[in-house]
Each structure stands twice: as C-alpha cells, then as structure tokens.
Amino acid sequence: MALAETCEIAIEDVPTVKLFFSLSTQWTHDTMSGRRIGIDYSRIPAVAGMLKIDDLPERFLDIRAMEAAALGVFAASR
C-alpha cells in the first residue's frame, strides 16, 4: 500500500514509529470476518529487543494509540 501523504516525526518518536511499523505482521485477525482486531502484545518485547528499544514501558501507550488509529483506518476502508 502506498502512502498518500508524508508526515514529520519528532526525533524522540522515531523508535516508537519504527517499532509500530515493525509489528505490521503481528496483527491478530477475527477468524470469521478476517478483520484486524489488534496487535498481538506478546510479540512486542521480542520486536523491541531486535530494534534495541529499551524503554518499552514508556512507549507502550504510544503503540496502543497508534494501534487504535490504525484500527479506525482499517474499519473505514472496509
């Protein structure tokens, strides 16, 4: 999927954005509808470790906010 727009990311948010995009294959799906229902949180520590992100507790709420926004976009595109 190509992005229609670009945006600026504050330098302190770059690790969070990298983590979020690196979790792109870790979404869980509803088995009946196939729709995405959220990120598999059990996978976040392993992915964060591979990216050498140490302050995961501080970034978790940001990941959840990004997840909620993405779910809204996914729902609108169905």
Average pLDDT of span 50-73? 95
Where is pLDDT greater, at 73 or 1?
73
Where is pLDDT greater, at 3 or 14?
14
Mean pLDDT, the chain, whole residue set: 92
Burial track 1-13 (b if 16+ CB lie within 10 A, e otherwise): eeeeeeeeeeeee
